[in-house]
Amino acid sequence: MTQAVETTSAQTQVIATAELAVIEREIQKLREGLLRPFAQKFHYPLVVGTASGLPTVLCLGNHSSGKSTFINHLASINIQETGVAPTDDGFTLITYGERETVTDGRATVADPNLPFSEFQQYGNDFLDHLKLKRRPIEALKQICLIDSPGLIDNPGALNDGSRGYDFNAVVRAFANSADLIIFFFDPDKPGTTGESLRVFTDSLSDVMYKLLIVFNKVDTFGDVRDFARTYGSLCWNLSRVVRTKDIPHIFCTFVPGLTSATDRMIDLTDFEKSTSELKREIGRVGQRRRTNMVGALLDSARQLRIHATVMRHVGMQLMWARLAIWGSAIAALGLGGWLLWYYRSHSGLLTTGLILLGVGMALGVGSGFLLRSRLRGLIGKLDAIFHDIFSKELLEHQNTRFLEGLWGAVKPRTVHVLKTVGPGGVPFSPLWLHKLRKLRRATETDIPEVLGKVSQ
């Protein structure tokens, strides 16, 4: 890594080591002590950032957009092969090692000391296109760089399998675990190819807050008019995939020394500043990691609270239905038995007793069916249940779309869990009401306070 990046990393280390350790313990306590029991009890995946692994930068971009060249520039050494033609069709993890080594994908994901075991699920075709490069470069002790295959115009459908594995899913997994995502464009392809369009819309839609957009190789322009025309084309293409009112900031960068000063008529002063700014952002990836960890914890806590609250309400409704069914069954059996015992000689009451016994047994035998029917009805009313439970909060929040947006993200999982566990697997204990209050306090006070500390 260049001296500029190393200096920037040192300058941006605003949280002392001891204080950072305290913050990480707070995150661990909240995650394992409060969120984990909820996640296990209510069957909700706890997807939060962990402290395992190094701060990670994922580099994406069109073919020949300069990803590998920029990585080599940062490292001040040729780690990746570069060229106009495609030179690598796989993912490369680049990190520190005492000596120069290259490890294949299967060995990489099988190593218990590396945080990549989850990538085994994408199969051997993907692992054949994954490798880990270790280099004895001091600054790589603080960062892991991920180079990716160049994105291309692929004529296939959205689920095209021409790469041999689920490429979009792999990118999504790397993007979720990364702390910073850099998407490179270049003058030859100042827009989204077919594959990059799918990556934007499918793999990066939930992690846009991590994304930096880079317009690379700006030193290849002959004059400012060519730059302006191509830059405008890039902005127009991005407007189709970045669903915000304003186009995000675009870093206009270049790698010094690749073009001759006599071949261009464009001033690179501002572009040098933009390139340095991008390097500073990369240097801040450690702080980004801490912020991402707490941000992911807060997102998970908010979603988990809504899921658990709705699930518990459904569980309570099922509990009352269960009590009503079994109470009616016991009452019918008891009354029917009493009539049969004391009024054996009275034909009318004897018949009534037999009917009551039949009703009681039917309720007992059919209780499972009745409860499943009740659960289906409650699932159909989940939106109404959510609005009823959170009616006060919806009134208190000026932006009700925030809570409704959380519910929109949570609802599919809630429905899936309810259908999977059935009436007998839905928690209903009144004790969880107190714990839900603690979870709400964590989402509104405790976790935001930790986020404030790491953002300083």
**What are the tens digits of pLDDT across the range 273-299?**
999 999 999 988 887 887 887 888 888
pTM more than 0.75: no
One-letter amino acid of 390: F
Positive or negative, the Cα torsion across 343, 348, 352, 357? positive
Residue 393 is which amino acid? E
| pLDDT attached to residue 362 | 87
- Please tell me the predicted confidence (pLDDT) of residue 244: 65
Q: Is the dihedral of CA 442, 448, 454, 456 positive or negative?
A: negative
> Which residue shows structure tokens 């501002």?
270
For residues 31-36, average pLDDT: 85
- Write the pLDDT tens digit of every residue in 419-441: 999 998 888 877 788 888 888 99
Query: Tokens for 350?
Result: 């004897």
- What tens digit of pLDDT does each residue of 159-176 get? 555 678 888 889 988 988
Q: How confident is the model at residue 13 (pLDDT cuts 50, 70, 90)?
A: very low
Q: What's the CA gap between 307 and 386, in Å, rounded?
A: 9
Give buried/exposed letters for 103-131 (b at 16+ CB in 10 A, else e).
bebeebbeeeebbbeebeebeeebbebbb
Is it the case that residue 321 has pLDDT exceeding 80?
Answer: yes
Is the model's pLDDT at 53 over the cut of 90? no
Pairwise CA distance, residues 159 & 165, whole Å? 10
Give pLDDT, residue 158. 46
Stretch 433-450: mean pLDDT: 87
Provide the residue type at 388 as one letter.
Answer: D
Check whether 156 has a pLDDT greater than 70: no
Spatial separation of the C-alpha atoms in residues 230 and 328, rounded to whole Å: 76
- Tally of CA atoms within 13 A in the half-sphere of 50 that contains its CB: 8
Residue 92 confidence (pLDDT) above 60: yes
Q: Which of 81-90, 135-144, 363-372 has the lowest mean pLDDT?
A: 81-90
pLDDT value of residue 4: 44
**Tens-place pLDDT, residues 328-369:** 989 988 888 887 777 766 767 778 878 888 888 888 888 889
What is the pLDDT at residue 127?
Answer: 92
Under 8 Å between Cβ of 59 and 71? yes
Q: How many residues are listed for the chain in this entry?
A: 456
Among the ranges 16-25, 113-122, 334-343, which has the highest mean pLDDT value? Answer: 113-122
Pairing assessment for the beta strands 211-215 and 56-61 based on DSSP bridges: unpaired
Per-residue pLDDT, 2: 47
pLDDT at 5: 44
| Distance separating alpha carbons of residues 252 and 2, to the nearest angstrom | 19
Per-residue pLDDT, 49: 47
Q: In terms of pLDDT, which residue wins out, 373 or 15?
A: 373
Give the residue carrying structure tokens 């990046």.
5
Mean pLDDT of 25-48: 82
Average pLDDT, the chain: 82
Look at residue 378 and tell me whether its pLDDT is greater than 90.
Answer: yes
pLDDT at 306: 94
